[in-house]
Amino acid sequence: VNRLLVDHAHCELKAAANALSLAARHARDVDLALALTDLAREEIAHFQRVLGALAARGLSCGPPPEDGYAAALRQFAAKLPRSPHASPLVDRLLIGALIEARSCERFKLLADAIGDDGPHGDLRALWKEFFASEAQHYGTFVDLAVRAAAGDRPWTIARLEELARIEAQIVSKLGLEDRGRSRATVHG
C-alpha cells in the first residue's frame, strides 16, 4: 500500500500537468481550456489528498519514476494513418481518456481489495471517490475529443478503439519490463 500511494501521488500530479500543458497550447479555445483546467484542478486536489494519506503514515514522496507508457502511446498515435478528423489534439485527448479509464479500473480494484475495517480502511473511501471522479474525467476527455473531431462521435470512438488496441500491446510489453516491481504505469 505504501509504495502504491507514493507512486500514485506522482500519477495525479502528472495528470494535472498534462491537462495544463494541453490547456496552455490550446488556450485560444476557451471551452477546451476551461474544461482542461477544471480537470487539472481536480487532479491537484487528488494529489493533495494522496499526500495527506502519505503524511498520515509518516511517508513522503520521492522524485517521480520514469514512465514510458504515455510517451509510447503518443509515439504510436503519431504513426497512425491520418484519417479525416485526426489531429494531435484529438489523439492527446483520446490518450487522456484511455489513461483515465485505466485509472478508474484500478481504483475499483483497489477499493474492492481493501476491507472497511483493516488498517487502511480510510483509503477505501478515498479510492471510491477517485474511482467516480476518474470515470467522469474519462467522459470529459471523450467529449472534448468528439468536439475536436468536428463532432463526429462514431469516428472518434473508432479512433479510441484503435488507440486502445495499441495500448493493450504497450501495457503487456511494459508489464514484462516492469516484472517484479508491481509499479502502476498509468495515471490516477
Residue of the chain from 8, 14, 46, 106 that contacts Fe ion (CB under 5 A): 46
> Quick check: 146 and 173 in contact, CB under 8 A?
no
Residue 61 vs 86, nearer CB to Fe ion? 61
Helix H or strand E segment including 14: helix 2-25
Backbone angles phi, psi at 72, to 5 degrees: -65, -40
Residue of the chain from 8, 14, 137, 147 that contacts Fe ion (CB under 5 A): 137
Residue 85 vs 183, nearer CB to Fe ion? 183
Distance CA 76, CA 74 (A): 5
CB of 101 to Fe ion, least distance (A): 10
**C-alpha cell read off for 171:** 501495457
**C-alpha cell read off for 49:** 489528498
Residue 102 contacts Fe ion per CB under 5 A: no
Q: Which part of the chain contacts Fe ion (CB under 5 A), choosing from 2-10, 60-68, 97-105, 168-176?
A: 97-105
Residue 7 contacts Fe ion per CB under 5 A: no
CB of 141 to Fe ion, least distance (A): 9
Residue 43 contacts Fe ion per CB under 5 A: yes
Kindly give the residue spans of alpha helices, DSSP state H, lying in 57-114. Answer: 68-79, 88-113
Q: Rg of the Cα trace of the chain?
A: 17
Residues 57-86 that bind Fe ion (CB under 5 A): none
